[in-house]
Structure 1
């Protein structure tokens, strides 16, 4: 047992101080990457770009948040990386050593400066062999397989005898999907319109809040007057009932009066323009406008004789 402990100590010390590494030149710069999990990454591990060694790992330490790791690397100064570079934890082979791979997505952006930090959002790692074997072990030991068998049995029981209904349901679902796909432009426009409406409402939330606050006193008054409003509506309902009853009861008399007026109205309509002319002569009788034009002088004497 002691020999195994000594061997493990020697291996750990060797892993923590790997000799050699890429040539970083005289104009090297340092970059720090924040990883959620660095596994067994050690100092002096390789730093690569497109599988070409360009640097080495200097230190691996715990981040101030206590949940992530900070990996400080030295990179050859001739390697130009953009400011939005990504860092990934890779493995040289199935059981090989770990290394950090830096990717240059957009070389047109400003370069990554000395002392820059690649945040946690731009770092990641590959699944480990242990994790894959552990997941496979859970499936092979009955976890996933047993669940898959149960699901298959339940699906068979549900479909047994209902094939026609399921086929009809699938046909309707297919028709629905095709209909939605045919109107996807309209749906997109509707969603865009809703987004614009939501943005407009958000921009005017102060005015909307003010309007709602202004309505509050009025709503309170309406709530206080609810009893009176209810009585008023009931009174209007009674008035409407009385009016309807009165009209129904006087309907025959009203129809008879209108029929009696019909001849008079017909004669007035037949008189046409004669009635206004007759009224014009009546107010000036016996000296109408036509007679006055035929009289000479300023005075007119009229003699009336009673027979």
Structure 2
């Protein structure tokens, strides 16, 4: 009992070469007798009935489960088949998700010190927010009241605001159309009537180089000061009576064509 024995038996087709030192016998050409432990275990199984009585119990329980539940079991098997099919179709996504989780865990491990600091500093911050919850609540309520007032105010002024925005479209449109001319206009805004580039030419130190020309002819004075009055044209007639050629006089404003209705016009562009 418990001892080991080794027996060498001649093979069915023995070789003519004798065994020498170092020769081996393959395991496929060997066999083993059962050990004592295996023999006793087999005897014990026979003496205890070999678990045959459990087979009857298992068979009975399986029969109880299947009796009257064929449709449910068939449905369960169908659902399991659908589940396994869907799971098999998504195996690459599942593998990728597992890989990404692994990478995330690697990042978490690499930033262990940072996470430890966050977990250490976060509780005091939460406690501070808890202490200031009344302030936060008041702020939210005040914001709600402000929103309500703003809504009522905007609702009351909606018509006027709409009208103002509609009227604002016209000057904004004209401003956009005049945009190319604005740079030139800005050049004379502060140095009227001279452009910014010409200021250095007429201002020299403590004196100004200026050569004004004043037109004091009667026809010009008539256009400038008497236009629209009952005396309009009187000075022009007097100048013409003194011998002034009408073709050399400034045009009479009373008979100058309206630039909006002039032939080939309008000569100026009006806003819509």
TM-score interval for Structure 1 and Structure 2 normalised by the shorter chain: 0.5 to 0.7
Q: How does 1:280-299 map to 2 (within 5 A)?
A: 280-281=187-188, 283-287=190-194, 299=209
Per the alignment, do residues 199 and 287 of structure 1 end up closer, same or farther by CA in structure 2, a change over 3 Å counting? closer
Cα separation, partners in 2 of 1:178 and 1:253, compared to 1, 3 Å: same
What does residue 245 of structure 1 align with?
Answer: 152
Kindly indicate which of the two structures has a greater share of residues assigned to helix. Answer: 2
Residues 255 and 174 from structure 1, CA distance in 2 versus in 1: closer, same or farther, beyond 3 angstroms? same
Equivalents in 2 of 1:202, 1:291: separation in Å? 72
* Alignment partners' CA distance in 1, 2:173 and 2:113: 67
Report the 3-state secondary structure (helix = DSSP H, G, I; strand = E; otherwise coil) of the residue aligned with 1:157.
coil
Once the two structures are superposed, residues 257-302 of structure 1 have per-residue CA deviations (whole angstroms, 9 ceiling, x without a partner) of: 12222332233233333344345345434455679979xx974465
Cα distance change on mapping 1:170 and 1:272 into 2, 3 Å: same
Secondary structure of 1:128's aligned partner: helix
Specify whether residues 135 and 196 from structure 1 end up closer, same or farther in structure 2 by C-alpha distance, changes over 3 A only: farther
Matched position secondary structure for 1:154: helix
Q: Which structure exhibits the higher relative contact order, with contacts defined as CA atoms closer than 8 Å and separated by 6 or more residues? A: 1
Quote the Cα distance in structure 2 between the aligned partners of 1:156 and 1:305: 124
1:96-135 mapped onto 2 (5 Å cutoff): 97=36, 128-133=41-46
Provide the residue aligned with 1:191 in structure 2. 98
Report the TM-score, using the length of structure 2 for normalisation: 0.55
- For residue 133 of structure 2, what is the aligned residue in structure 1? 226
TM-score, normalised with respect to structure 1: 0.49
Residues 1:216 and 1:271: Cα distance change in structure 2 (over 3 Å):
same
Report what 2:268 is aligned to: none
Q: In structure 2, do the counterparts of structure 1 residues 274 and 175 end up closer, same or farther at CA, with 3 Å as the change threshold?
A: same
Picking from 177, 181, 201, the partner of 2:108 is 201
> Which protein shows a greater Rg?
2
More strand per residue: 1
Structure 1: unaligned runs, 5 residues or longer: 1-14, 16-40, 54-77, 79-90, 99-124
| Cα displacement (A) at 1:252 | 0.7
RMSD: 4.1
User: What is aligned with 1:139?
Assistant: 52
**Cα–Cα, structure 1 residues 233 and 303, in superposed 2: closer, same or farther, change >3 Å?**
same
Hey, what's the Cα distance between the residues in 2 that align with 1:283 and 1:247?
40
Q: What is the number of residues matched between the two proteins?
A: 192
Correspondence 1:79-98 to 2 at 5 A: 92-93=33-34, 97=36
Q: What displacement does 1:52 show?
A: 6.6
Kindly tell me: are residues 151 and 134 of structure 1, through their superposed partners in 2, closer, same or farther at Cα, counting changes over 3 Å?
Answer: farther
C-alpha change, 1:275 and 1:209, in structure 2 (3 Å) is closer
* Structure 1 counterpart SS, 2:68: helix
